[in-house]
Structure 1
Amino acid sequence: MFNVPWICSRCLSRSVRTAVNRPFLQLQRRTVSTTTSDSDLSPVLLRRADFLASEHSKLSAQLAESFDTKTAKRAGELASIAGVLQEWNKANESITELRSLADNPETDAELRSLAVEDLESTRVTLPNLSAQLKQSLIPRHPFAELPCLIEIRPGAGGDEAGLFAFEVLRMYMALCVRRGLRATILKKEVEDASTDNRLVEAVIEVPTSGSYDIMRTESGVHRVQRVPATETKGRTHTSAVSVMVLPSFPEQGGGMDDALNFEDPNSDYYVDAQEVRIEKMRAGGAGGQHVNKTESAIRMTHIPTGIVVNMQESRSQHSNRKHAWQLLRAKLAKMRQEAREQEQMELRRGVMGGVAKMDRGDKIRTYNYGQSRCTDHRSGVTLHNLDGILEGGEDLETVMDSVRVWLVDQEIEGMIAEEAAGAREKPAKRGRAY
């Protein structure tokens, strides 16, 4: 019988499975940091998580008595927070128990060995739980569940920008194929139909629900540094490509609990048809005699904002009109959402002392051919496998995942700063009240 006053249940269960004649290990006692540093969670986030978990518990109790759709939906939204918080609390309790067992001089050497092993594995697990808890505390993006449109345009750099824009188009198409996402090129305009590789503009439709959340990390300016094939002196040129990821809406409103209300003037998705000028014209570019004989191309101009959408990919005017409306509605909804985000960013600048996030016009990523390097300027991640990235491989997803982590950190910093600012204002308000 082991002569210890208390044994952690996890270690006891493991000791039963361990051979009795296993040699005792002489272990050096380790000093373990506090739970706060292990968890890497601020008190602000923990208070928020506790509050939401408590709300989930109350809603679950209500549902046990009588079912209500609205209550069930809210409970479902909070379920992940409550579940992760429970696991996070268990991990912290285990660390406390295991540390006590490992630091107790009366603990049997073999049990101390098991405690230290479990302590190390739990300390590895806890940061992952902390990251999951942070992620669950951030409200989902309003467009997260929607399909998406990806608009690609060359920027500064002339022909070289058009060539790289074509490679970016292929990169995203390859990524969609590898991920099993159905993707269709709605629009593709090239500078020269004979070469078909200098892009003027392209729009990819990814109709899979949730694809917006997958691809939204790609919005911004992508910079390329390489020696063009036409460069005789071996000089590196820099050019840019603009990528905009837009939410794609169904042809008719409704769905998602009627969140996509096309008839509500206060909705992001509303477009007043009287504010849209529609022009029919003959399509340009390749296409034979049909191009010059029918007015199948559609141009829509949203007069209040000046947003212009052209669509001529199909020979059917009806199809071009449908896709033009789809793109225009997506651009307007994106613009309205970004306006709210900009307002929120301005508020956060005051409490964070800096820029809270990057704008879509900022350079987000650099592709350097000479060094086979891809650097994302938001997350700071650099990978030296440019070919694999441009082929839509796993390294591209690694970069995209790093941006998602960066986005979470930005939101968390903003939440903490706003909470701190609110706490500083409350005493001042109480003082004025007296």
Structure 2
Amino acid sequence: MEKIIQITSGRGPAECTWVVAQVLKTVLQEAANDGIKASVLQHEAGQENGTIETATVVLEGKNVIQFVNLWIGTIQWIGQSQFRKFHKRKNWFIGIFEVEKSSDLIINEKDIQYQAMRSSGAGGQHVNKVSSAIRATHIPTGIAVVSMDSRSQHQNKKLATERLLAKFNDESVKQLKTNVQNQWMNQLEIQRGNPIRVFQGSDFKKQKQEKNYKQERQRLKREDYHDNS
């Protein structure tokens, strides 16, 4: 099971981007503790050192749904601004939202078409007479690459496949980023009245609702168990 989440400061000030950076660290740590694989797909740094405006995280694991449910929503941090010494505000909010991954971003080897072609450029008579170059095309998307590095058609086919997969992954990331941009309004809809988690202080400690989170996690696990049984 895989889930993708976006941790964002919305249009919040530098303090919120600091909170995003701290929440990202906490998410990654808690995911590791729960046996969930977490990797940062992309992030945008904030204006201040050590801050992040937005980060997209891929989470994979058996209990990833329960894990994500415990984070989706508004996160509140209570603390004094590190960037504006005399600023009176002490409550800062960021949001975590789930990002839908397009099913079109799955590649199937059956959808790859290979075409032999003559290599061009320097290389002597052998290059001009033998169709050793390979063009690999992903039919559904039209993404295509060419390999003419080797005199071996088999080797060029292998290289073309690797390059096609790499290019396809790049396009997948671009599309995912587009999906994130399309959810930009989420960043303006951060609800401040009912945060799902509250942290406080410069050491970013959780408030004492931790027991509630553990109880909720156990409840979700029990529901998942009964659904699968």
TM (norm. structure 2) is 0.53
Residues 347-386 of structure 1 mapped to structure 2, 5 A cutoff = 361=191, 363-364=194-195, 365-369=197-201, 374=206, 382-383=208-209
**Of 13, 17, 28, which residue of structure 2 is paired with 1:158?**
13
3-state DSSP of counterpart to 2:17: helix
3-state DSSP of counterpart to 1:367: strand
Once residues 180 and 168 of structure 1 are traced to their aligned partners in structure 2, the CA distance between those partners, rounded to angstroms, is 18
Residues 395-414 of structure 1 mapped to structure 2, 5 A cutoff = 395=210, 398-404=211-217
The one-letter code matched in structure 2 to 1:202 is: A
Aligned-pair CA distance for 1:239: 1.6
Aligned partners of 2:36 and 2:61 also within 8 Å = yes
Aligned partners of 1:183 and 1:204 also within 8 Å = yes
Instruction: Give the match for residue 149 of structure 1.
Output: 4
Segments of 5+ residues of structure 2 without an aligned counterpart are: 108-139, 141-165, 184-188, 222-229
Instruction: Give the match for residue 348 of structure 1.
Output: none
Cα deviation, 1:103-141, whole Å, max 9, x if unaligned, reads xxxxxxxxxxxxxxxxxxxxxxxxxxxxxxxxxxxxxxx
Return the structure number with greater helix share. Answer: 1
Instruction: Give the match for residue 252 of structure 1.
Output: 106
Once residues 331 and 231 of structure 1 are traced to their aligned partners in structure 2, the CA distance between those partners, rounded to angstroms, is 29
The one-letter code matched in structure 2 to 1:400 is: Y
Aligned partners of 2:19 and 2:77 also within 8 Å = yes
The one-letter code matched in structure 2 to 1:217 is: L
Aligned partners of 1:155 and 1:242 also within 8 Å = yes
Aligned-pair CA distance for 1:175: 1.1
Aligned-pair CA distance for 1:221: 1.3
Aligned-pair CA distance for 1:201: 1.1
Segments of 5+ residues of structure 1 without an aligned counterpart are: 1-145, 254-272, 274-315, 335-358, 376-381, 384-394, 409-434
2:46 counterpart of 1:191: yes
Aligned-pair CA distance for 1:372: 7.4
Aligned partners of 1:153 and 1:202 also within 8 Å = yes
3-state DSSP of counterpart to 2:37: coil
What root-mean-square deviation, in Å, do the aligned CA atoms of Structure 1 and Structure 2 show?
4.1
Cα deviation, 1:72-99, whole Å, max 9, x if unaligned, reads xxxxxxxxxxxxxxxxxxxxxxxxxxxx
3-state DSSP of counterpart to 1:167: helix
Aligned-pair CA distance for 1:224: 1.2
Instruction: Give the match for residue 323 of structure 1.
Output: 173
Once residues 191 and 204 of structure 1 are traced to their aligned partners in structure 2, the CA distance between those partners, rounded to angstroms, is 17
Change in CA separation of 1:155 and 1:225 when aligned onto 2, cut-off 3 Å: farther
Once residues 62 and 180 of structure 2 are traced to their aligned partners in structure 1, the CA distance between those partners, rounded to angstroms, is 15
Aligned length in residues: 157
Between the two proteins, what is the percent identity of the paired residues? 10
Aligned partners of 1:249 and 1:330 also within 8 Å = no
Once residues 18 and 88 of structure 2 are traced to their aligned partners in structure 1, the CA distance between those partners, rounded to angstroms, is 17
Change in CA separation of 1:209 and 1:180 when aligned onto 2, cut-off 3 Å: closer
Return the structure number with greater strand share. Answer: 2
The one-letter code matched in structure 1 to 2:41 is: L
TM (norm. structure 1) is 0.30
3-state DSSP of counterpart to 1:322: helix
Larger Rg: 1
Aligned-pair CA distance for 1:177: 1.7
**Of 219, 224, 230, which residue of structure 1 is paired with 2:77?**
224
Once residues 331 and 407 of structure 1 are traced to their aligned partners in structure 2, the CA distance between those partners, rounded to angstroms, is 30
Instruction: Give the match for residue 35 of structure 2.
Output: 180
Once residues 210 and 328 of structure 1 are traced to their aligned partners in structure 2, the CA distance between those partners, rounded to angstroms, is 27
Aligned partners of 1:161 and 1:240 also within 8 Å = yes
2:56 counterpart of 1:203: yes
Once residues 157 and 330 of structure 1 are traced to their aligned partners in structure 2, the CA distance between those partners, rounded to angstroms, is 17
Aligned-pair CA distance for 1:165: 0.5
Specify which structure has the bigger relative contact order, considering alpha-carbon pairs within 8 angstroms and separated by 6 or more residues: 2
